[in-house]
Structure 1
Amino acid sequence: MIPKSISIMVSTYNWPEALERCINSIFLQDHLPDEIIIADDGSREETLILINKLKNTSPIPIIHVWQEDHGFRLGEIRNKAIIASNHEYIIQIDGDIILDSHFISDHISLVEKSAFLCGSRVWITQEQSAEILENPPGFSINRNKFPISTILNSLRNSSLSHFLADKYKKNKPTILRGCNMSFWKSDLLSVNGYNEDIQGWGSEDAELAIRLINKGVKKRFLKFSAVAYHLYHKENSKANFDKNEKILNLTIQNKITWVDNGIQKNGSS
Structure 2
Amino acid sequence: MQISLSISTYNWPAALEVCLLSVLGQTVMPAEVLVADDGSGGATRELITSFQQRFPIPLKHIWQADEGFRLAGIRNKAILAAAQPYIVQIDGDVILHPQFVEDHVRFARPGCFATGSRVLMGEALSREVLTTKNINATLLRKNSKNFFNSLHMPWISDFLAHRYKKDPFDVKGCNMAFWKADLEKVNGYNEIFTGWGREDSELAIRLVNAGVRKRFLKGGGIMYHIHHREASRGREAENDRLLAQTRLERRTFAEEGLSRHITH
Give the TM-score normalised by the residue count of structure 2. Answer: 0.96
Give the alignment of 1:89-168 within 5 angstroms.
Answer: 89-136=86-133, 138-139=135-136, 141-147=139-145, 150-168=146-164
Choose from 177, 184, 200 the match for 1:182.
Answer: 177
User: Which residue type is aligned with residue 153 of structure 2?
Assistant: N
Pick closer, same or farther for the CA change 1:47–1:245 going to 2, 3 Å: same
Matched with 1:236 is 231
- Check conservation: 2:121, 2:140, Cα contact below 8 A: no
Detail structure 1 runs of 4+ shifted over 6 Å in the superposition: none
- Check conservation: 1:24, 1:137, Cα contact below 8 A: no
> SS of the counterpart of 1:181?
strand
> When the two structures are aligned, how many residues end up with a matched partner?
260
- Check conservation: 1:107, 1:182, Cα contact below 8 A: yes
Gaps of 5+ in 1: none
Give the TM-score normalised by the residue count of structure 1. Answer: 0.94
> After the TM superposition, which of the residue ranges 101-110 and 231-240 deviates more from structure 2?
101-110
Matched with 1:196 is 191
> SS of the counterpart of 1:182?
strand
Q: CA deviation at 1:224?
A: 1.1
Gaps of 5+ in 2: none
- Check conservation: 2:22, 2:97, Cα contact below 8 A: yes
Matched with 1:55 is 52
Choose from 12, 16, 21 the match for 1:19.
Answer: 16
Q: What is the CA RMSD across the aligned residues, in angstroms?
A: 1.2
Give the alignment of 1:229-268 within 5 angstroms.
Answer: 229-265=224-260
User: Which residue type is aligned with residue 63 of structure 1?
Assistant: K
**Identical-residue share of aligned pairs (%):** 45
Question: Quick one: distance in 1 between partners of 2:168 and 2:140?
Answer: 32
Q: CA deviation at 1:63?
A: 0.7
> SS of the counterpart of 1:264?
helix
Question: Quick one: distance in 1 between partners of 2:141 and 2:48?
Answer: 29
Q: CA deviation at 1:136?
A: 2.9
Choose from 9, 32, 54 the match for 2:29.
Answer: 32
